[in-house]
Amino acid sequence: MTQCIKNFPAKHCTGAANELRRAAWRTSAPGQVEFVALGNFLVESRSASAKSDILSGITVALALVPEAVAFAFVAGVSPIVGLYGAFIMGLVTALFGGRPGMISGATGAMAVVMVSLVAKGNELGGSGAGVQYLFATLLLVGGVQIAAGALRLGKFVRMIPAPVMMGFVNGLAIVIFLSQMHMFQIEGEWIGGSALWIMLGLTALTMAILAILPMFTKQVPAALTGIVVVSLIVVLGGVNTPTVSSFIASHGGDGIAAGLPSFSVPMISLSWSTLEFVLPYALILASIGLIESLMTLNLVDELTETRGDANRECVAQGVGNITCGFFGGMGGCAMIGQSIINIKSGGRGRLSGVVASLALLAFILFGSTYIEMIPIAALVGVMFMVVIGTFAWNTFRIMNKVPFADVCVMLLVTGLTVAFDLAIAVFAGVVVSALVFAWEKAANISAEVYFDAEGIKHYEFSGPLFFASTTAFLAEFDVAGDPDSVIIDFADSRITDQSAIEAINKLASRYEAAGKKVQLRHLSHDCTRLIQRAEKICAVDVIGDPDYYVSVDHYKRALGRALGEAGDTHDEVTMKEVARAGRALERSAGAHMAVVGR
């Protein structure tokens, strides 16, 4: 244990944590050593402090209660199932996740899929069977998410373009705002008269506290202060306004009091038909959970100017959902609203998520009476401030400064997030962005045509040759009018996929059918290997060929081969050129590895 603490990276510790870490080298008491290790683990960010994490964690826990209850009602399960899900997901991901400070719990994006699963499960197995099918599905969801992390698929979140990210946060801000509108309803009817004005006034007061208090002090979270102040006004002043208790009662619940979650295996029949029923839901829920979690991770990275571990977060989300399946939780994923509350309240380390989860459990076990007294208006005010902080207001400023296609992608993702869910929105945004990119790159291919002194026609291409540019590539040639010898020069071009290979083979077949000879020059070695008919149609100029290193793993091997060839020639000039190229190659590979390392 002592050695573990001694080797713990100091760069992840605050100044106080580093002092504790150094103290581990000077102590041999097991209790002291374990305390230091725990402190370094929970408060591992440079900007994190135990006080800020604890206070922000309590704030998040208060805001989690109505959210978890509301999403449980959406999914068609008991409020306790939603609260257990928020507790379990929050605790597991706080301890083992890849993004300290990010909060996970029951979410609306997954709840809207679960409602269909629970309803159909009740039809298959009778009343109460739906929630058991939900628990079984969560086991598969967790397995898929763990597999995604183990296969290191989390890195693909870096491929999400900026317009998709901006559309995502804007759409999510709108969704959060619209979800708060339900808080102004009682049993499906809108609040009116003086009750509405009282609730709006309390909401505005909460928002004012959140906006003004940080100007004077940041020692206590503004959100927690707003909730406490407004709650005291309502309780001590006897103000008649909706509370957490009335909100739960209006949806058919009877409070949040309960015991500890207990272990239980989902009670469903193990059969092929059951797997066919739950597997599609599991894949959808796993996809939604991973996308929302990784997008939230990116957003928290930007807010804190630090870097999270996407693959580790995938695994933690999977472990959390499997735990929910065995302990009666609703499951879930990262919550962007609660994460922003945590970050804005000063929470940076894992301790904030742990405190939020344990505080929520304490509310369930001991403090339900007091939590149910909190006015809904105070929580709505906090969420409205989250909406204001989440929405990318600079969207309106850059509308006329970015490409029109990017604006369309932003609007598309925002609309789909509001109309459907973020998984569909992000998938659609990435696909449309990829198609736009392909279309623009396809227009970049061009050819310079000339005849040399021997009458051979040269086609010198520039731009990438891939599936979207093959039509333009083939249109450049005049097989019938070309001379008997043709050279196609790829010094400034690149063969990238099977469509490009097929286009070259098709072109070669046309020239062969016309009895003419075609040569390909300045192909990279990897392109040459890709061409199926290389022996017949390729006359590769090895001296002038560029090397394209499609993987960092290959560059050292290629450099070694080049050095070996240069060594055989004993040519001082060649050796200098190879060394210069090697240094440039190392710099390029180092930059690439820095990006991949994320």
Model pLDDT for residues 480-527, shown as the tens digit of each residue: 999 998 998 888 888 888 888 888 888 888 888 898 888 888 876 666
Q: Say whether both 130 and 269 belong to one domain.
A: yes
Per-residue confidence band for 261, with pLDDT thresholds at 50, 70 and 90: very high
pLDDT per residue as tens digits for the range 289-303: 998 899 889 888 888
Q: Say whether both 357 and 487 belong to one domain.
A: no
The mean of the pLDDT values for the chain is 80
Q: Say whether both 29 and 168 belong to one domain.
A: no
Residue 317 predicted with pLDDT over 60 = yes
Residue 149 predicted with pLDDT over 90 = yes
Token code pair at residue 461: 């291409």
Token code pair at residue 84: 């257990």
- Note the pTM of the prediction, 2 decimals: 0.69
Per the domain annotation, does 436 fall within a domain?
Answer: no
Residue 166 predicted with pLDDT over 70 = yes
pLDDT of residue 557: 54
Question: Could you tell me which residues are beta bridge partners of residue 538?
Answer: 520
Residue 564 predicted with pLDDT over 80 = no
Between the alpha carbon of residue 266 and those of residues 146, 171, 324, the distances in Å are 20, 35, 11
pLDDT per residue as tens digits for the range 55-101: 999 989 988 887 888 788 778 888 899 999 999 999 999 999 999 99
**Residue 531 vs residue 527, higher pLDDT:** 527
What average pLDDT score do residues 225-254 get?
87
Per the domain annotation, does 318 fall within a domain?
Answer: yes
Per the domain annotation, does 424 fall within a domain?
Answer: no
Q: Say whether both 453 and 376 belong to one domain.
A: no
Per the domain annotation, does 37 fall within a domain?
Answer: yes
**Residue 50 vs residue 39, higher pLDDT:** 50
pLDDT of residue 2: 43
pLDDT of residue 579: 53
* Centroid of chain to Cα 443: 32
Q: Say whether both 137 and 267 belong to one domain.
A: yes
pLDDT of residue 67: 80
What average pLDDT score do residues 543-571 get?
48
Residue 314 predicted with pLDDT over 90 = yes
Q: Say whether both 333 and 450 belong to one domain.
A: no
pLDDT per residue as tens digits for the range 450-490: 998 888 999 999 988 889 999 999 999 999 999 998 998 88
Question: Could you tell me which residues are beta bridge partners of residue 584?
Answer: none
Per the domain annotation, does 511 fall within a domain?
Answer: yes
Residue 231 predicted with pLDDT over 60 = yes
pLDDT of residue 581: 57
**Residue 588 vs residue 97, higher pLDDT:** 97
pLDDT of residue 584: 55
pLDDT of residue 507: 87
pLDDT of residue 409: 94
pLDDT per residue as tens digits for the range 188-217: 788 888 999 999 999 999 999 999 998 888
Q: Say whether both 573 and 468 belong to one domain.
A: no
Burial class (CB in 10 A: 0-12, 13-18, 19+), 192: exposed
Segments in 345-445 forming alpha helices (H)? 350-365, 368-371, 376-390, 395-398, 404-419, 422-442
Total tally of structural domains belonging to the chain: 4
Per-residue confidence band for 410, with pLDDT thresholds at 50, 70 and 90: very high
Q: What is the CA radius of gyration of the chain?
A: 30
Q: Say whether both 505 and 562 belong to one domain.
A: no
Count other C-beta atoms under 10 Å from residue 530's C-beta: 17
What average pLDDT score do residues 545-565 get?
49
Residue 324 predicted with pLDDT over 70 = yes
Token code pair at residue 398: 């850059």
Q: Say whether both 477 and 570 belong to one domain.
A: no
Distance in angstroms (rounded) separating the CA atoms of residues 283 and 278: 9
**Is 317:333 a contact under the CB 8 Å cutoff?**
yes
Token code pair at residue 332: 């879930």
Per-residue confidence band for 132, with pLDDT thresholds at 50, 70 and 90: very high
Per the domain annotation, does 70 fall within a domain?
Answer: yes
CATH of the domain at 490: 3.30.750.24
Between the alpha carbon of residue 150 and those of residues 146, 314, 316, the distances in Å are 6, 8, 11
Q: Say whether both 236 and 370 belong to one domain.
A: yes
Question: Could you tell me which residues are beta bridge partners of residue 494?
Answer: 464
Per the domain annotation, does 79 fall within a domain?
Answer: yes
Question: Which domain, by its residues, includes 572?
Answer: 552-596
Q: Say whether both 516 and 574 belong to one domain.
A: no
Q: Say whether both 517 and 571 belong to one domain.
A: no
Strand order across the 457-465 sheet: 446-451, 457-465, 485-495, 517-521
